[in-house]
Amino acid sequence: MNLHFRPTRGFSAAYTKVMRATCYFLLTVGVAALGYVGYVSADSKAYQVVEKEKFTQAMERETLIQAVVSHRPAILREGDVIGEIQVPRLGLDAMVVQGDSAGNLQRAVAHISNSALPGEWGNVALAGHRDTFFRPLRDIRAGDEIRLKTAEGAFEYRVQSIEIVGLRDTQVLEPSSGRDLTLITCFPFSFVGRAPGRFVVRAMEVARVIPGQSSDIERRHQRTVSPVPK
């Protein structure tokens, strides 16, 4: 007696249809996912280009800069552009916006709302995605220069330390008594899914140029900068 199961032709046809439908479904999902990733990437790049152009034009007009400084809003709104962050050695260059919402992090580097603003005493905390704007930070090292350009002035920082902390470690966001900068992104950089840690870069302000003290912000790159107030 032959006990081997032999699928009927009807069963085989139904199985084939189910597998074909599953393949089409997975293909559709894959195409949709790729399309979404492409849209997000194009949207963030377009946002960066537009906002950087607007910011650059404002910075080039000293009278406009002075007007912005004198009429700075008491409270920044979610999504307002604060300025531009650069790490020259790493080629990092991105716009910084107010608030660390998912939408802001998708388009720019985000300023954590309850931290100090560039130029103020305290800890300026910025967050960015490890697979987009802050990916170059994987190669950062102590002594690297970080620049922050805003309508209120241009600020130069030097990296003091780099550390890895847990997801719930909020000490890195605590206020400081100096003029400090903290950059935060997920870690490990190559991790797929929700990363288990945070990569933290700490820097200290070493120089600044404030509108009215210099007619050309770029003079600071020639080392004609004003010292940080003690």
The CATH number of residue 217's host domain is: 2.40.260.10
Q: Is residue 1 part of a domain?
A: no
Q: What is the pLDDT of residue 215?
A: 40
Residue at 151 is within a domain: yes
Amino acid letter, residue 204:
M
The pLDDT, as a whole number, for residue 53 is 75
Quote the CA–CA distance of 81 and 55 in Å, as a whole number: 8
Residue 203 lies in a domain: yes
DSSP H or E run through 58: helix 9-60
Count the domains in the chain: 1
Range of the domain at 152: 57-227
Please, how many CA atoms are within 13 Å of residue 214, restricted to the half-sphere of its CB?
Answer: 22
Both tokens of 129, joined, read 């995605």
Q: Is residue 61 assigned to a domain?
A: yes
Q: Is residue 28 part of a domain?
A: no
CA dihedral of residues 67, 70, 71, 76 (deg, nearest 10): 110
Please report which helix (H) or strand (E) contains residue 107, including its range. Answer: helix 102-107
So what's the pLDDT on residue 118? 93
Q: Is residue 201 part of a domain?
A: yes
For residue 185, tell me if it sits in a domain.
Answer: yes
* Amino acid symbol at 62: E
Tell me which residue of 98, 60, 104, 68 sits closest to 81, measured CA to CA: 98
Question: Could you tell me if residue 52 is inside a domain?
Answer: no
Which ranges of the chain have pLDDT less than 70? 1-11, 24, 29-42, 58-74, 212-230
Per-residue pLDDT tens for 51-102?
777 777 766 665 445 544 444 555 789 999 999 999 999 999 999 999 999 9
